Amino acid sequence: MKRILIISISMLLITTVLSGCTTSRNIIITKFEDLGREGVTIAIGNPEHVPAGRYAMEVIDNLRESNPELAEKIENNIVSKDVTVRAVLDKVITREVDAGFIYKPDAIMEGDKVKIIEIPKEINVFPEYSIAVLRDSDNKKEGEEFIKFIISKEGQEILKKYGYIGTVRDPKPYTPKHLDGSIVVYGGAGMANMLKEMGKEFERKTGCRVNFLFASSGTLTQRIKGGAVGGENGADVFATPSVRYMEILKRDGFVEDYKIFAKSELVVVISK
């Protein structure tokens, strides 16, 4: 009778550990190849809506060409496909999963909370970040001016501060203009900190208030296609880490053109 009771208590403890927000498993990950080890748990963004998730699957597909066995093992270890990069980060930090695929700037901003595991360059992807004024924006002049600031010397310096790679050669200093009113910027969730500082500095220089809505690029694209352009809450400017979504909006007539204003790279993070 005592033996049965001990087994029952043990099973209860195991169930509690596996279903909780943290894990006490001693998983050691020191290099990218360790992601394929048995028992490793991985989180990525949902590839259907989150560009970082799609890029993670691209990395695995690239790996499949040279090491299909390891690629299959890593893919099989993906246990969570989340709505934002932030959600992936939170699961890593709380040890709900062992590792996550995210953008390098997001990892850098977490400081000592996570450790970065570099992805081999021959299989990695290097996302390009695009930005555009919406065709039916009520504030085109202000939106275009905001983009000018982003690609200026001051804007590109803010990008680098957050770990992004600037794409403008020899950027010129921004020439401030006084602007009335405000603009609404729709931005990918992972860019929130960087874009907020951009907006704050732009407002300081021009007087134009910048309001933001952050979500996955897929969600924001659907909002724009659903008519959320102009007006009090509709987008004037759209910024995304996925050129694919910008091309969709250009194809469907929501933007006339766009600019590539930054690059980054994908990394794997584990909790420290």
**Residue 21: DSSP 8-state:** S
Pairing of strands 42-45, 99-103: parallel
DSSP characters over 153-203: HHHHHHHHHTTPEE--SSPPPP------SEEEEEEEGGGHHHHHHHHHHHH
Choose among 27, 115, 40: nearest CA to 74. 40
Domains of the chain: 2-126 (3.40.190.10), 128-263 (3.40.190)
Q: What are phi and psi of 61, to 5 degrees?
A: -65, -40
Residue 39, sorted as left (phi over 0), alpha (psi -120 to 50) or beta, turns out to be left
Q: Nearest-5° angle of CA 205, CA 106, CA 23?
A: 150
Tokens of 214: 């952050």
Give the Cα separation of 192 and 204 in Å (integer). Answer: 18
pLDDT in tens, the chain (272 residues): 434 433 333 333 333 333 333 444 678 899 999 999 999 999 999 999 899 999 999 999 999 999 999 999 999 999 999 999 999 999 999 999 999 999 999 999 888 899 999 999 999 999 999 999 999 999 999 999 999 999 999 999 999 999 999 999 999 999 999 998 999 999 998 899 999 999 999 999 999 999 999 998 999 999 999 998 977 789 999 999 999 999 999 999 999 999 999 999 999 999 99
Residue found under tokens 């360790």: 34
Tokens of 241: 């880490």
